[in-house]
């Protein structure tokens, strides 16, 4: 009975992540996006930990730290450090093909945060979201599948909004 309660709590964190993510990826301002992304990763870390997905929890924990640091510091050297960290923690933990997905997703997010801006950053987030969707289906994360599906849709809409905003003439 206790196990079912933990799964229910895990799924609640997944659904909360979905709500936070809906807000996060609708942001046109990169700094607001990064701040709320930090909140999202903290929630996702708990979600995957409670589901028993060690790789998912570690990937999100590192992503939380990475995102918080990226709010204040912008050096590309930090991006390389976090890319290496994602690979160094992940590769020894790979036991099956699905274990690679959080690593790839975390690397996409790291690359987006430290090396890209605007539309290109959001395209990299979308690439990571595809990896997370497959992972989440396999580990049974209901909120995670909802979240990453929303990430794809919301980032696409935000990209369109950003494209449209750049084509509008500036009012005097």
Q: What is the pLDDT of residues 71-129, one digit of tens each?
A: 888 789 999 999 999 999 888 988 888 889 999 999 999 999 889 988 999 999 999 99
User: By mean pLDDT, which of 3-12, 56-65, 113-122 is the weakest?
Assistant: 3-12
Q: What is the mean pLDDT of residues 24-50?
A: 89
Q: Long-range contacts made by residues 102-108, C-beta under 8 angstroms, separation at least 24? A: 102/53, 102/55, 102/56, 102/58, 102/59, 102/131, 102/132, 102/135, 103/55, 103/59, 104/128, 104/131, 105/59, 105/129, 105/131, 105/132, 105/135, 106/59, 106/60, 106/62, 106/63, 107/83
Entry pTM: 0.81
Tell me, what's the pLDDT at 123? 95
């Amino acid at each position: 009975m206790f196990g079912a309660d933990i799964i229910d709590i895990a799924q609640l964190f997944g659904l909360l992540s979905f709500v936070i993510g809906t807000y996060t990826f609708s942001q046109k301002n990169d700094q607001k996006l990064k701040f709320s992304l930090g909140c999202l990763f903290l929630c996702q870390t708990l979600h995957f930990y409670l589901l028993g997905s060690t790789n998912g929890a570690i990937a999100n924990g590192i992503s939380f730290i990475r995102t918080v640091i990226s709010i204040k510091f912008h050096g590309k050297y930090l991006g390389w450090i976090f890319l290496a960290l994602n690979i160094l923690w992940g590769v020894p933990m790979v036991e099956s093909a699905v274990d690679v997905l959080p690593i790839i997703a975390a690397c996409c997010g790291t690359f987006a945060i430290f090396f890209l801006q605007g539309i290109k950053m959001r395209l990299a987030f979308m690439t990571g979201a595809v990896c997370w969707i497959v992972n989440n289906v396999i580990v049974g994360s209901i909120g995670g599948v909802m979240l990453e599906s929303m990430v794809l849709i919301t980032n696409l809409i935000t990209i369109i909004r950003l494209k449209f905003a750049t084509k509008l003439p500036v009012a005097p």
